[in-house]
Amino acid sequence: MKSTKRRALLRNATLLAAGGAAGLAIPGSAAAQARTPFTVAPTFIPVAGSSEVFPVRRIYCIGRNYAAHAREMGSDPTREPPFFFQKPTDAVQNVPPDTIIDHPYPPLTKNYHYEIELVAALATGGRNIPMDRALEHVFGYTTGLDMTRRDLQRAMGEEKKPWEIGKSFDHSAPLGPLQRVASVGHFTKGAIWLKVNGEIKQNADLSQMIWSVAEQISKLSEAFELAPGDIIYSGTPENVGPVVKGDVMQGHIDGLPDIRVKVV
């Protein structure tokens, strides 16, 4: 073997070893042999109280999971089964504790909305997970914002086109560090609220969710094989509304640290 080729293989082995240590999935033996022309940054969420980080695989979001929010969006909450959409993994914007971070106002919208949500993160996955075992798959929880270009979402909906451009854009998933289940337990009730510039905008209780986190995991696993690294935005309560540049959002869920985000 030529020394240049050997060096290249060694370099790749080192890269793969580094990737493996960081928990990156490199599927297929062909990929394991291949060199990459560039690197793609993986997405991680810090784990509170540790030096660990949680590698993100997929971001699932449930729509219209509080009755009053379903009504304000123009649907009938009594008849609708849960439905899901996704955001790209790198939509995550990590919000450190006790810090106000800058959040860029996105392009193309004139009606940029907050949605405060409980976020569950999975340590294990599977298919057809029964509801009574679903919470065993949860690694931890955090407070998140499902930021939404509402004008684009509505326009696409009216044309029966995908929501993607309204929901699945850069930085559209700000969230706090993950709190382990061992520290915070599971969430079936407790206040969830959002303030903008100190004024309460959304204010509800987690017990008002139509589909619980356990039901969400179970239902999702009928449609998709869930896996470690998947996170689930569990839906927002009523009174979603707009923010503009300069606004500071504060998100709160009882039992979790608040997050603070400034739109710039």
Contacting positions for Mn ion (CB under 5 A): 115, 146, 236
Q: Which is nearer to Mn ion, 115 or 230 (CB)?
A: 115
Q: Which is nearer to Mn ion, 47 or 253 (CB)?
A: 253
Q: Which is nearer to Mn ion, 146 or 230 (CB)?
A: 146
Round to the nearest angstrom and report the end-to-end CA distance of the chain: 55
Residue nearest to Mn ion (CB): 146
Q: Which is nearer to Mn ion, 47 or 146 (CB)?
A: 146
Q: Which residues contact 204 (CB under 8 A, 6 or more apart)?
A: 66, 68, 191, 192, 193, 237, 238
Cβ contact 90:42 at 8 Å: no
- Least Å distance, CB 10 to Mn ion, is 46
- Least Å distance, CB 11 to Mn ion, is 43
- Least Å distance, CB 136 to Mn ion, is 25
Q: Which is nearer to Mn ion, 137 or 167 (CB)?
A: 167
Q: How far apart are CA 179 and CA 75, in angstroms?
A: 33
Tell me the C-alpha to C-alpha distance, in Å, between residue 80 and each of 36, 70, 163, 213.
45, 9, 18, 17
- Least Å distance, CB 249 to Mn ion, is 14
Give the E-state strand segments of 207-263 in sequence order.
231-233, 241-242, 248-253, 259-263
- Least Å distance, CB 113 to Mn ion, is 9
Q: How far apart are CA 251 and CA 255, in angstroms?
A: 12
